Amino acid sequence: MSTNDNKNLSSTERIKMASDGLRGTLKESLHDELTGAIREDDQALVKFHGMYQQDDRDRREERSAKKLEWLYSYMLRLRLPGGFMTGEQYVGLHNIAGEHSTGVIKITTRQTIQLHGILKSHVKPTIQAFNTILIDSISACGDVNRNVACAAHPKFSPIHEEIFSYAGKISKLGLPKTKAYYEIWLDEKPLLDPKEKEEVEKDPLYQDRYLPRKFKIGIAIPPNNDVDVFTNDLGLIAIIENDKLVGFNIAAGGGLGTTHGNAATYPRLASMLGFVRGEEQTLKAVLEVITIQRDHGNRSDRKLSRLKYTIDKMGVEAFKAELEKRCGFKLEEPKPYTFTSRKDDYGWHKNHEGKWYYTVFIENGRIADEKVALKTALLEVAKTGKVNFRFTSNQGLILSDIAQKDKKAVEKILNDFGIIEHTENAGAMRKSAIACVAFNTCSLALAEAQRYLPSLITKVEPILAKYGLQNDDISMRMTGCPNGCGRSYAAEIGFVGTAYGRYNLHLGGDREGFRLNKKYKENIDEPAILKELDELFEKYSKNRRAGETFGDFAVREKLVTF
């Protein structure tokens, strides 16, 4: 069954292997009208179809007091390699969100979309509606290769589209072969002949075990590291020579999830392995990194099952040797490259083809009519049929591929709804901030994140202004638990939820994505956070060196030690 040496498989491993190609009893669970939940084993399997079962945690106490079942619903995440969607597809997304979910369209930190609050009876109609606009949610969650992220802004490179195409190729490479998704959600006829089914669903990559845990891939195009490439299980850095893509530097073993109180868990940045040349070598290396994790990853303790632990167990050199053995070729030495930032480039930009791009500020990725009529405005832009949508790994959105003759019409809509003013007036820290979903839907959340970070920044901005730092792009990120979905460990200032209203404060990450931060203060509340930041920003404003970032200052001053 396995080439790894784990004898005590976790319960999830047993569920996967007994699932009949991820089918389980999902059909039966869907038809059970006595509960809004699905069966326990199916809760593990439904992730592979792009969903998590959740409940409204704001209403748990009230419903329990009334002896009612918790208000269960489902989060659906789309598979959008590189975060691309046409305007027509966005109109469909808008309508599906309104009909079947809370209505909020949530941009994730992996360039895709999540819809929350989908009731069980609406799950199948939601997936079928997405299918009509040629979008699916296969492998958006689960122990498989997740949504492949890629540098979002085409203005950065004349060969952006060539590099961007790798996101789709890798996404296809990492799809499971099972037809369960099509049978359960799209009513395709099941394969009844056992031999035919075995042949069609034979899966050399995932077999019947899939991966020990989720697997994330990011593609960066220097000089911008907007995908935070080293936080991925597998990172590809495009190497361009004489305006031609020659290959990729390949790094492996990134991942930010930890567990409070468990010293065996830790955030880690990917280790550079080498350079691969051309498409054939690149795709082969990607595939074989995944197979090594499949065969050697920990299948007994899911807290220790990500690729970062596999690499640290094997050792980087041994891992590289195994990769070269499986690939049948040696990796070359890494090529030189430079990262200068990780942020989104807001406002209007023109690329080498004369096409226009407008990057919209969307706080924490929430597309809704809240501070401004953002959701309505984006629908109107999409309806023009003149724009594509490119979501970013910073929870942003680029309205893209706009012809010169169409720019004025798009700009008028953005101005009429106050979107350009909203984007221009947002402060530097607010624009670079990231927060995970956390409360009220994430079952793992210990503290707030996306609902709280905007108000915290409102209180921090006067402190920044007091010390003349309001235009400094200090990166601040917040997660409601230690799993790191908001990449808080890779920020200059990171907040990690420990209990409701309390966070660990981390300092010392850099702006380019080469260094993680370290814990500075533990389990502090808002008054303590504001006091600490006031003191830190005062020191920074007085003692910083020319051009020194806050993260670098924190390290030089030994506020945290490495």
**Quick one: three-class SS letters along 285-326?**
HHHHHHHHHHHHCCCCCHHHCCHHHHHHHHCHHHHHHHHHHH
pLDDT at 157 over 90: no
The number of residues in the chain equals: 562
Residue 204, pLDDT above cutoff 90: yes
Q: What is the mean pLDDT of residues 302-317?
A: 98
pLDDT tens per residue across span 85-142: 999 999 999 999 999 999 999 999 999 999 999 999 999 999 999 999 999 999 999 9
- What band does 155 get if pLDDT is binned at 50, 70 and 90? confident
In DSSP notation, 367-381 reads ESBSSSBHHHHHHHH
Q: Say yes or no to pLDDT of 84 above 70.
A: yes
Annotated catalytic, 150? no
When pLDDT is cut at 50, 70 and 90, the band that residue 562 belongs to is: confident
Q: What is the mean predicted confidence (pLDDT) over 483-506?
A: 97
What's the mean pLDDT in 258-268? 96
The share of the chain scoring above pLDDT 90, in percent, equals 95
Task: Name the catalytic one among 16, 209, 213, 214.
Answer: 214
Residue 503 has pLDDT above 90, yes or no: yes
Catalytic residue among 47, 77, 375, 430: 77
DSSP character at residue 336: P
The token duo for 83 is 């975060």
Higher-pLDDT residue of 443 and 413 is 413
Note the pLDDT tens digit of each residue in 449-476.
999 999 999 999 999 999 999 999 999 9
Please check the confidence at residue 156 and state whether its pLDDT lies above 90.
Answer: no
- Judge whether residue 153 has pLDDT over 90: no
Is the pLDDT assigned to residue 2 strictly greater than 50? no
Q: Which domains does the chain have, with CATH numbers?
A: 1-8+145-342 (3.30.413.10), 51-137+346-425 (3.90.480.10), 430-557 (3.30.413.10)
**Active-site pick, 436, 487, 511, 515:** 436
Query: Quick one: which of 552, 440, 454, 473 has its CA closest to 507?
Result: 552
Asked if 73 and 56 count as a contact pair (C-beta separation under 8 A), the reply is: yes
- d(Cα 406, Cα 94) in Å, to the nearest integer? 22
CA dist 410 to 109, 203, 263, 401, 402, Å? Answer: 26, 46, 51, 12, 8
Low-confidence winner among 225-229, 276-280, 350-354, 509-513 (lowest mean pLDDT): 350-354
| 481, 438 contact by CB (below 8 A) | yes
Whole-number Å distance between alpha carbons of 9 and 549: 46
Given 481, 487, 511, 515, the catalytic residue: 481
Q: Is residue 442 among the annotated active site residues?
A: yes
Concatenated DSSP letters for 94-135?
HHHHHHHS-S-EEE-TTS-EEEEEE-HHHHHHHHHHHHHTT-
Encoded amino acid at 449, one letter: A
State the burial class of residue 70 (Cβ atoms within 10 Å of its Cβ: 0-12, 13-18, 19+).
middle
pLDDT, position 176? 97
The span from the CA of 69 to the CA of 67, in Å, is 7
Whether 485 is a known active-site residue: answer yes
Please state whether 481 falls in left (phi above 0), alpha (psi between -120 and 50) or beta: beta
- In the beta sheet, which residues pair with residue 519? 506
Return the pLDDT at 3: 44
Active-site residue 141, yes or no? no
| φ/ψ of residue 301, rounded to 5 | -125, 105
pLDDT at 264: 96
Instruction: Give me the mean pLDDT over the 307-333 stretch.
Output: 98
Reported as a pLDDT band with limits 50, 70 and 90, residue 6 is low
Catalytic residue among 16, 120, 146, 155: 146
Q: At residue 424, does pLDDT exceed 60?
A: yes
Beta pairing, strands 388-391 & 84-86: antiparallel
Of the listed ranges 1-10, 218-227, 500-509, the one predicted with least confidence = 1-10
What is the pLDDT, as a whole number, of residue 374? 98
